[in-house]
Amino acid sequence: NEKQERFIHHIYSSGKHLLHLINNLLDLAKIEAGRFSLVYEEFRLSSAIEEAVSVVEPLAKKKELSVSYKVDEAIGTVTADKVKFKQILYNLLSNAVKFTPERGAISLDACLLTGQECEAYGINSSQKLMRISVKDTGIGISPEDMDKIFDEFEQADSSFTRRHEGTGIGLSLTKKLVELHGGLIWAESAAGEGSTFSFI
């Protein structure tokens, strides 16, 4: 009946949340112990992005958020650990959903970097590199919180943050996964003006 269905839904969603939390903690522990290895494969970037977006869309719909993405046509396939790559995307997208108030917007943009852009980022690589950015119209991050958002078990200290569940390990793990791929990650934000998280 309706009451039982509601209880089952709560148990299921809580179980999923706990599983995600445990997996994040295990990944962090493996990385810290130096026992974490990436399994590289070639896959279509657009399909990986579509999968990650489809996972967060139900959460976004509840808050009437629009979610869009754009992929540079010059990028066909990429070589990375597909499971962990999708985890990076999912973590950034779900974070954007969490901290964007009702009827806001989230966009993801993937583009190929030019040699000049690589130099500007201080990267010297013979390989083709891409930049993926996740932008939101959320609450933004204050300058004092910006220094600690990628630290383990740290969260921005605001009343909005305190109303949302979280352990402060999502962005820390995301940073470690990006760096294990040999990449860079950073954030640009201003309080009340939304945030953009980008990685190469």
Which amino acid is residue 188, in one-letter code?
E
* Sheet containing 66-71, strands listed edge to edge, beginning at the edge strand earlier in sequence: 66-71, 105-112, 130-136, 195-199, 185-189
pLDDT digits (tens, 9 = 90+) for 60-101: 999 999 999 999 999 999 999 999 999 999 999 999 999 999
DSSP string, 14-75: HHHHHHHHHHHHHHHHHHHTT------EEEEHHHHHHHHHHHHHHHHHHTT-EEEEEE-TT-
Q: Which residue has the higher pLDDT, 42 or 16?
A: 42
Lowest mean pLDDT segment, chosen from 12-26, 126-140, 142-156, 158-172: 158-172
Find the mean pLDDT for residues 101-106: 96
Query: Of 69, 75, 79, 40, which Cα lies nearest the Cα of 136?
Result: 69
Please give the Cα distance from 150 to 173 (Å, whole number). 8
Full 3-state SS string of 152-179:
CCCCCCCHHHHCCCCCCCHHHHHHHHHH
- Residue 124 is given by DSSP the state -
Q: Rounded mean pLDDT of the chain? A: 88
Q: What is the pTM of this model?
A: 0.84
| Other C-beta atoms lying within 10 Å of the C-beta of residue 160 | 13
pLDDT at 111: 96
The two structure tokens encoding residue 181? 């791929």
Average pLDDT of span 35-41: 93
pLDDT at 153 > cutoff 70: no
